Chain A
Amino acid sequence: MTTPSMHGGNIAIVGAAETDRIGKVPDVSMIHLHTNAARRAIADAGIDISEIDGVATAGPTAIELADMLGLRPRWADGTMLGGCSFMALVRHASAAIASGAANVVLVTHGESGRSRTGVPHYAPSPSSMGGQFEQPYGALAPYSSFTTPVLAFMASRGFTREDLAEVVVSQRLWAIPNERAQRRDPIDVAGVLAAPPVAYPFTRDMCCVVTDAGGALVLMSAERARDLPSADRAVYVLGSGEGTESVIVSQMDDLESFGPFRRGAKEAFETAGVTHDDIDHLMFYDAFAHLPLYMLEDTGFVGKGESAEFFREGHTRPGGDLPMNTQGGGLSYTHSGMYGMFAIQEAVRQLRGEAVVQVPDVHTSFVQGVGMMFGAGGSLVLSNERP
C-alpha cells in the first residue's frame, strides 16, 4: 500500500475555533486559552475528544497540552518556529495523518500576551547569539529588532513611510465592522503617521496590537471527514511549505527579501498544483506593516517593488480583487504573540462562508506566516473544494 499524499486535499481541517473571548482576558491563564480553544474546536468538529490521538502545539509542551485535556496521544509535535509554528504544525499534522502516524490531530495556540496571566518567566539568555550580538544594542522587543532591515528594503524600492501607513489603512477597513477586533477606529495615512512614534520609521499603528487570545484546529483525513455532521464545512489542505533562516535578524541572507517566504510559497504552490491566479483570498502575517509588502513580492503575487502600489490601488481592501487579512490582521484584529493561528482561523472562516466580514465566492486561500522575526516562514494553500 502506498502512502497517500499529505497534499492535494487528502487532509481536512474539520474543527476550528478561537477562544470565546479575545483581547483582554486576565482571568484565564495561558494554558487555558489553549484548552478553551481546543474544546471549542473539538465541539465545532462534532467529534468526541477521545477520537484525538495526536496533539501539536508551540509554546507549552505537547505533553502539558495533552495532559491538561486528559489525553494520552500516540503522536505529539512541539515544533517551535515562533509565530508561524501553526502553519508548520498543520503541515506536520497532514504528513502524520497521511502516513498513518495519527488519525485525528489537535493543533492549539494560546497566549496571554497582554495580561501575562500564568505565563512562564521569560529571560533572554545573555550567551545566546541574540544575547551577545543584538540585545545589548536595544533589540530586545520585536518593535526594535524586527524593524531593523526595513529602511534598506524601502530604499531599494523607493518606498516611503506613507507606503507603510497605507498597509495599516487598508487593513483597518476590515476591522471596523468586526466587534472582536482590537483597533476599530477609522484611520487615514496622515493619522497613521501622526500616531506616537515607536521605532522610526514605525509609529504605533504600524505595530500589531497585543492581546490575550487562543485558537485551535482539528485535522483528519478527508475520507474520514466525509462521515462527520460538519462534512460540508471541511477545509482542505492543498499545499504547504516551510523553512528557516537566521537565528538573529541582523544575519538574514538579504535585507530586502526573505528566503523562507520565497521558497515556502513556491513549494506550497507546487504541492497544491495551483497558480497565483487561483487564489482569491490572502492571509499575510502582519506583526508589523512591512511584512505584507515583503510577502506580496516574495510569494510572487506582484513583482519586485510593486507591493506598495498594489495596496494604494485598493486590491486588498473590502471590495478589492485580492482581499487580504480580512478580520483586520495582527495590526488591527488580534496578536497574542504568535499570530499564525489567527491567520489560519480567518482563512477557514472565509472558506466556510462564516467570516464576520465575508468575502463573496472564496474558494482558495493562501496563508503566509513568519516567525522569530525573520527566522522562519510557513505557507499553506487551503480550499473549500477537494480537487
Chain B
Amino acid sequence: MSQGPVPVPTPETLQFWEGTAVGELRIQRCNSCEKFYFYPRPYCPKCNSDNVEWRVVSGKGSLASYNINYRPFPMFGTEEPQVIALVELDEGVRLMTNVVGIEPVPENLPLGLRVQVAFEPRGDQFLPVFTPDTAATIAAAASALETRA
C-alpha cells in the first residue's frame, strides 16, 4: 500500500478504476475514428462520435518523458525521489504515472525505455504504475548482440 492522494472516480471514469482493481488497464476507443483516447469521456474528443467503447489494453508502452521529483509532498510519507513519468501506451495514448522498481536515477531511465503496467494499491483504489519491461529489454540487448556478431 503506497501513501498519497487517493483518486475519487466519477461516473465517467468508473470503468477505468473498476479495471485497475481487477488488474486490467481499460482505455476507451472510438469505433468511428478507430483511435484510443484518454482521459475518459462518454464521447470521442477527436471526432465527437458517441460510438465509443472500453477496451482492455496491453499495458505495454514506452517512456516518453519524466522528471525525478526530489521534493515529494509529505502526504506521500516518503522522502524517496519520485519518478513522475509520461508513458506512451502501444495503443497510442499517453498516461502520467510513476516508474517503479528501479533506483530513481537518470541512467536507469533512457527515453524510449520499454515499460509494462503494474497495479499499486492506494487507499481503496489501485493506481496503474509502470516497471521496466525486462523481457523486452533482454530481447533488445540480444538483438543488439546479434547485430554486432
Contact = CB atoms under 8 A, between A and B. Distances in A.
Interface of A: 124-127, 129, 131-141, 143-145, 147-153, 155, 197-202, 248-251, 255
B69 A138 contact: yes
Contacts of B69: 138, 143-144, 198-199
A133 B7 contact: yes
B106 interface: yes
A148 B85 CA distance: 7
Given A131-B5, A139-B96, A199-B71, A145 B84 contact: yes
Contacts of A125: 8
Given A129-B39, A137-B129, A151-B111, 20 more contacts: A126-B5, A126-B7, A127-B7, A131-B7, A132-B10, A136-B122, A137-B82, A138-B69, A138-B82, A138-B84, A144-B69, A148-B67, A152-B111, A199-B67, A199-B69, A201-B67, A248-B39, A250-B96, A251-B94, A255-B65
A136 B16 CA distance: 15
Contacts of A131: 5, 7-8
Contacts of A151: 65-67, 111
A198 B4 contact: no
B39 A138 contact: no
7 contacts: A126-B5, A137-B96, A151-B111, A201-B67, A248-B96, A250-B86, A250-B95
Contacts of A143: 69, 71
B86 A255 contact: yes
Nearest to B106: A200
B68 to A, nearest CB: 4
Contacts of B66: 148, 151
Could you say which interface size class chain B belongs to?
35 or more
Interface string B6-42: 1111100100010000000000000000000011000
Contacts of A124: 5
B96 A126 contact: no
Q: Which of A138, A148, A149, A200 has the most CB of B within 10 A?
A: A138
Contacts of B54: none
A152 B71 contact: no
Contact of A199 (B17, B68, B76): B68
Interface string B33-67: 00000110000000000000000000000001111
Contacts of A139: 84, 96
Nearest to A201: B67
A189 to B, nearest CB: 18
A138 B98 contact: yes
Contacts of B4: 136, 138
Given A144-B69, A152-B65, A199-B71, A136 B6 contact: yes
B131 interface: no
B92 interface: no
Nearest to B109: A151
Given A150-B65, A152-B111, A251-B39, A126 B8 contact: yes
B39 A136 contact: no
B67 A136 contact: no
B14 to A, nearest CB: 11
A358 B94 CA distance: 45
A135 B72 CA distance: 11
A199 B65 CA distance: 13
Contacts of A140: 5, 73
A144 B86 contact: no
Given A137-B84, A200-B106, A255-B65, A127 B10 contact: yes
